[in-house]
């Protein structure tokens, strides 16, 4: 069994019908038949031919691709680069939403770069073009707001269209620090 697929083993084995032994056998058979296939086809075969759940099929496929050198951490199946981060903030969804959409509030925790909203579903999602993150050219951010209580919200952010692996590392560090600053701002 390859290391990439093996990393996903505990997740698959907990959720798959027939328990760990059945899941391990399906996973090994699927990986043997994956050579030369693209990401979508591998994941589809895991689901259709081997009974692996969709989310787990994606995890196994990514692990397989990383193991085989077909992609590295932070690289999408299409070859693009992306980074992400999330933070739970003791504040209502509306406050987090405003922290991204109200320029005056946004500049208090995100003082650098140009931020241009592309789409926005109030209290749910936001997509924006963003330039100014360290590590390279402009990218796109997608933000999801999830209420985890009356006054508690999880904000998840994905920064896509990054230049390379170095830009991924820089973006991860940048968003970790910026989301930490956002948390302090809204909780004080």
The whole-number pLDDT of residue 183 equals 96
Spans of the chain, pLDDT less than 50: 1-16, 20-21
The dihedral over CA atoms of 166, 167, 169, 173, expressed in degrees to the nearest 10, equals: 140
Give the burial string for 32-53 (b: 16+ CB within 10 Å, else e): eebeeeebeebbebbbeebebe
The whole-number pLDDT of residue 5 equals 41
CA dist., res. 173 & res. 162, Å (int): 14
The whole-number pLDDT of residue 72 equals 72
The whole-number pLDDT of residue 82 equals 82
The whole-number pLDDT of residue 39 equals 77
Q: Has this prediction a pTM greater than 0.75?
A: no
The whole-number pLDDT of residue 126 equals 96
- Contacts of 172-175 with C-beta under 8 Å, sequence gap 24+, read 172/74, 172/83, 172/84, 172/85, 173/134, 174/133, 174/134, 174/135, 175/83, 175/84, 175/85, 175/133
């Amino acid at each position: 069994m390859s290391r990439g697929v093996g990393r996903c083993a505990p997740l698959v084995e907990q959720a798959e019908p027939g328990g760990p032994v059945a899941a391990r056998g399906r996973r090994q058979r699927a990986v043997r038949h994956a050579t030369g296939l693209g990401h979508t086809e591998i994941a589809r075969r895991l689901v259709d031919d081997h009974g692996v759940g969709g989310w787990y099929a994606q995890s196994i496929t990514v692990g397989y691709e990383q193991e085989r050198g077909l992609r590295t951490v932070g690289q999408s199946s299409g070859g693009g680069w992306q980074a992400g981060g999330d933070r739970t903030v003791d504040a209502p969804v509306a406050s987090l939403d405003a922290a991204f959409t109200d320029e005056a509030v946004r500049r208090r925790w995100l003082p650098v770069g140009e931020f241009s909203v592309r789409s926005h579903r109030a209290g749910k999602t936001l997509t924006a073009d963003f330039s100014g993150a360290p590590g390279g050219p402009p990218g796109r951010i997608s933000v999801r707001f999830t209420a985890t209580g009356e006054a508690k919200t999880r904000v998840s952010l994905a920064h896509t269209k990054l230049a390379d692996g170095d830009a991924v590392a820089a973006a991860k560090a940048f968003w970790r620090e910026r989301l930490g600053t956002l948390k302090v701002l809204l909780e004080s």
